[in-house]
Chains A and B, each alone.
Chain A
Amino acid sequence: KQEVTQIPAALSVPEGENLVLNCSFTDSAIYNLQWFRQDPGKGLTSLLLIQSSQREQTSGRLNASLDKSSGRSTLYIAASQPGDSATYLCAAPLNSGGSNYKLTFGKGTLLTVNP
Chain B
Amino acid sequence: EPEVTQTPSHQVTQMGQEVILRCVPISNHLYFYWYRQILGQKVEFLVSFYNNEISEKSEIFDDQFSVERPDGSNFTLKIRSTKLEDSAMYFCASKAGAKNIQYFGAGTRLSVL
Contact residues of A with B, CB < 8 Å? 31-32, 34, 36, 41-46, 49, 51, 89, 91, 98-108
- Chain B hits for A103, CB < 8 A: 33, 35, 43, 45, 93, 102
Closest to A4 in B: B42
- Chain B hits for A31, CB < 8 A: 98-99
B43 touches A89 (CB 8 A): yes
Size class of B's contact patch?
20 to 34
Report the bound CA distance from A43 to B31 in whole Å.
19
Report the bound CA distance from A43 to B37 in whole Å.
10
**Chain B 78-95 interface 0/1 with A at a Cβ cutoff of 8 Å (1 = within):** 000000000001010100
- Chain A hits for B58, CB < 8 A: 102
Closest to A89 in B: B43
**Chain B contact residues, majority secondary structure:** strand
Closest to A52 in B: B99
CB distance from A94 to the nearest CB of B (A): 11
Instruction: Answer whether A49 and B101 are a contact pair too, CB < 8 Å, given A99-B50, A106-B42.
Output: yes
Q: Which of B12-20, B62-70, B103-111 contacts A (4 or more CB under 8 A)?
A: B103-111
- Chain B hits for A46, CB < 8 A: 101-104
A43 touches B101 (CB 8 A): no
Besides A41-B109, A103-B93, 9 new A-B residue pairs in contact (Cβ under 8 A), listed by A number: A32-B99, A41-B89, A43-B104, A49-B100, A89-B43, A91-B43, A98-B55, A99-B50, A99-B55
